[in-house]
Amino acid sequence: MKYAIIMLLALASYGCGPDQQTVQPVIQDITQAVYASGRLYPKNYYRVAARMPGVIAEVYVVAGDTVRQGMPLIKIKNTTAEIGVEVAENAYALADDNARETSAFLSAAQAEYEATRSKYEYDSVSAYRQKRLLQAQATSRSVYDAAATQLDVSRQQMRKAQQSYRNLQQRVQLERRNALLQVQAQRSNRDEYIIYALEDGIVYDVVPNVGEVVAPQMLLIEIGRASEYEVELSIDETDIALLSLGQRVVYTIDSYKSGRFEGVITHINPRVSASDKTARVTASISRQSGVTFLPGMSLEANIVIAERRNAVVIPRDYLKPGSVVQVQRSSGSELVKVRTGIEDLRYVEVLKGLSTTDVLVR
């Protein structure tokens, strides 16, 4: 864990032989903080990217322009979508052909339905005839039952074929509508399209010029608010559990070494990057008169985790494993167990086990 020192006071040390040093605990302020590096960005900062490959037809803004939500930024002519249009048109032609009542696709289903209906009509007449013969005692009950059963089978087969035919009609109509929408979409992609501003802000950079070829997801324009800035910080994964919203942040900016900049944590991204094992944190930053922030400006930060006023502290290198210190007594030195609190790069707070009159031996 990396710690930042907000305030350090010298500790009195005493020589005690050529190989030993001694020190007494002192009372001072101590601050525990997590180190982070980051960059400045305008609030609501976003990058405009190309949706598809093409050629820049027009650029409506230049760096420094103020834009409003919905204003046009750039026009791109798509020159590589002809294949997609052709494929979509071929698919629509096939779907349109299948949706016609005279198509072989529907004709086969209709013929099957007509065949089952004819069979049902024939079996209906046969069953009626057998019923009349049974009433006249001119045939047996088993013959009539067989005719009635065949009629039920034919009725079910006809209804099934009829439903299949209707379902097929609905399906081919839907496929034709979807194919038409795809043709329209592909034709739209082939034509020029305009990208509009998503938020109010200032244009910080315009990358391409008219006539240049752009690829999908290529950066085109950077936009953000000029009056408000925020900071994106990279935090080591071992420190992320120590952070919470609202914690104070103290910044150091190389361009303004004499300035004092502070802020608070406003957002903690709940994800650790697999590539560099860091998490992203967003924080606010105070603005001073006469200071000009630029997008992408680098800085360093100390996120304050805890602070103690008038704490009893000892140097870190006097604390042994297991929270044990070696204390000098009149009869010799002895090991004393202590309870520690917060710590910074050089000092550890001692909550219990020592007083400022004790002398520690290293």
User: What are the structure tokens assigned to 221, written together?
Assistant: 């324009």
| Mean pLDDT computed over 14-40 | 82
Bigger pLDDT: 289 vs 244: 244
User: How far, in Å, CA of 245 to CA of 78, rounded?
Assistant: 45
- Contact present, 279 and 237 (Cβ < 8 Å): yes
- 86-118: burial string, b at 16+ Cβ within 10 Å, e else: eebbebbeebeebbeeeeebbeebbebbeebbe
pLDDT in tens, 101-159: 888 879 999 999 999 999 999 999 999 999 999 999 999 999 999 999 999 999 999 99
User: What are the structure tokens assigned to 68, written together?
Assistant: 């409003």
Phi, psi (degrees; rounded to nearest 5) at 38: -170, -170
Which range has the worst mean pLDDT, 70-84, 110-124, 344-358?
A: 70-84
- SS3 assignment, position 45: coil
Residue 8 has pLDDT above 50, yes or no: no
